Copies of this chain bind each other. A is one copy, B any other.
Amino acid sequence: MPLIHDRNNPEMRSQCPISAILDRLGDKWTLLIIRDMMFFEKKRFGDFTDSAESIPSNILTNRLKAMQETGLIEARPYQDNPPRYEYHLTSAGQALRPVLFEMIMWGATHVPGTFKPTFEQIEMMKNAIKK
């Protein structure tokens, strides 16, 4: 699997799929927003700033915009005046579930002080992937 920089697409660092996914979510926050949508049914701006990691609102604004541009989430208006949006995972965003599952398993196994999912929670996550 040679990894070649594609001169026709200067926005891609290479044609490697790992490089491509990191271009979209290779930071400390994007996957936490996706976690909040995927596992905690969070939708609104204030839902995300309420999470334990206290994402700064300027970073959240920036990430929500970038995630819409790269097709991970979509914004749906829920109020007109002033305009307000709820954010939902697209099918491509939902398809990140196995990535998050493996990250949870790695983090819980290898980082002391993290929450350890129960057997039931692991089975629930596996079943949600199979669907």
Contacts and interface: CB of A to CB of B under 8 A. Distances in A.
Interface of A: 1-6, 9, 12-24, 26-29, 31-32, 35, 39, 51-54, 71, 92, 95-96, 98-111, 113-115, 117, 121
Contacts of A24: 111
B110 A15 contact: no
Nearest to A24: B111
How many subunits of this chain does the assembly comprise? 2
Given A15-B114, A17-B104, A99-B106, 20 more contacts: A1-B117, A3-B51, A3-B52, A3-B115, A4-B52, A5-B52, A9-B113, A15-B115, A16-B107, A16-B114, A20-B111, A20-B113, A21-B106, A22-B103, A23-B28, A26-B28, A95-B109, A98-B106, A99-B102, A99-B103
Contact of A114 (B5, B17, B52): B17
Given A21-B107, A102-B102, A52 B1 contact: no
A17 B9 CA distance: 35
14 contacts: A5-B52, A9-B113, A16-B35, A16-B107, A17-B104, A17-B105, A17-B115, A18-B107, A21-B106, A22-B29, A22-B103, A27-B28, A99-B102, A101-B102
